[in-house]
Every structure is written in C-alpha cells, then in structure tokens.
C-alpha cells in the first residue's frame, strides 16, 4: 500500500527454526537491522487472509536492534518494498503526525498494535 506506514514483517520460511527466527530474518531483509532481543508478543495473535488467499496467523513482537557505537541504527530499505522509514514516538502515533507528515498505517489494526506495544513497554 503506497504512501502508508507499516512495521517490518512477513511469514515463516521452511528453514526458519521458529517464529522468532522468522521475525529476526524479516527485520534484516526489510530494514537491514540485526535483532539482538525479541520481546513477548504484543497483544493476541490474530488470523487474516493474505493477498494470495491463504489464511495466516499474525504475531507481533517488539524488537531491540543492534546499534553502532554511538547508539544509532543504520536502516537499509529494500526499495522494491519500502519508500522511506521513520522513528515515531507514542505521541506521534496517537496524533497520526510526525512534524508536517501524516502518519497513516496500512491497517487500523496495525496502528492499535503499535500503540499497544508502547503501552506494554511501560509495564514490562
């Protein structure tokens, strides 16, 4: 969905050892970031229908990614999949705006999950 925002994600491959390995692999493939820690799933897994018509179960995990010596993350996007990236605060997600840019997610459910992840991070 062009000009809308989403978090990195995708499906499990046959050679993924687990769902967590798949999540780390997708983060690497979509953003060039190496996962160093994956937290507990955010919310409950839910079912949806993929573009190809498959019924899939979606899990969302918060991820801590590797940083350089100055605490930065070097995001590298696949231009066939993504146009740009932003880091958004909880307040910016709630306001649906980052400075002069509108923040519209690909799905309303995703916006709710991102906000739930912020909430979950406060409670541990």
pLDDT in tens, 35-46: 999 999 998 888
DSSP per position, 70-121: TS-------TTT-S------HHHHHHTEETTEE--BSSHHHHHHHHHHHHHH
Predicted TM-score of the model (pTM): 0.86
- pLDDT tens digits, residue range 49-87? 888 999 989 899 999 999 999 999 999 998 888 889 999
Q: State the pLDDT at residue 81.
A: 84
Into which CATH architecture does domain 19-123 fall? Alpha-Beta Complex (3.90)
Position 124 pLDDT exceeds 70: no
Q: How many CB atoms lie within 10 A of CB 118?
A: 16
CA torsion through residues 87, 92, 97, 103, sign:
positive
**Domain boundaries defined on the chain:** 19-123
Q: Is 36 helix (H, G, I), strand (E, B) or coil?
A: strand
Instruction: Tell me the two tokens of residue 117.
Output: 């992840």
């Amino acid at each position: 969905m062009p000009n809308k925002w989403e978090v990195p994600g995708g499906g499990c491959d046959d050679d993924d050892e687990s769902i967590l390995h798949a999540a780390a692999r997708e983060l690497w493939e979509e953003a060039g970031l190496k996962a160093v820690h994956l937290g507990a799933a955010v919310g409950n897994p839910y079912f949806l229908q993929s573009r190809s018509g498959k019924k899939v179960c979606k899990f969302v995990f918060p991820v801590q990614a590797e940083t350089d010596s100055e605490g930065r993350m070097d995001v590298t996007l696949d231009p066939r999949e993504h146009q740009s990236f932003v880091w958004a605060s909880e307040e910016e997600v709630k306001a649906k705006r980052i400075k002069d840019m509108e923040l519209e997610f690909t799905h309303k459910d995703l916006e709710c999950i991102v906000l739930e992840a912020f909430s979950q991070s406060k409670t541990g």
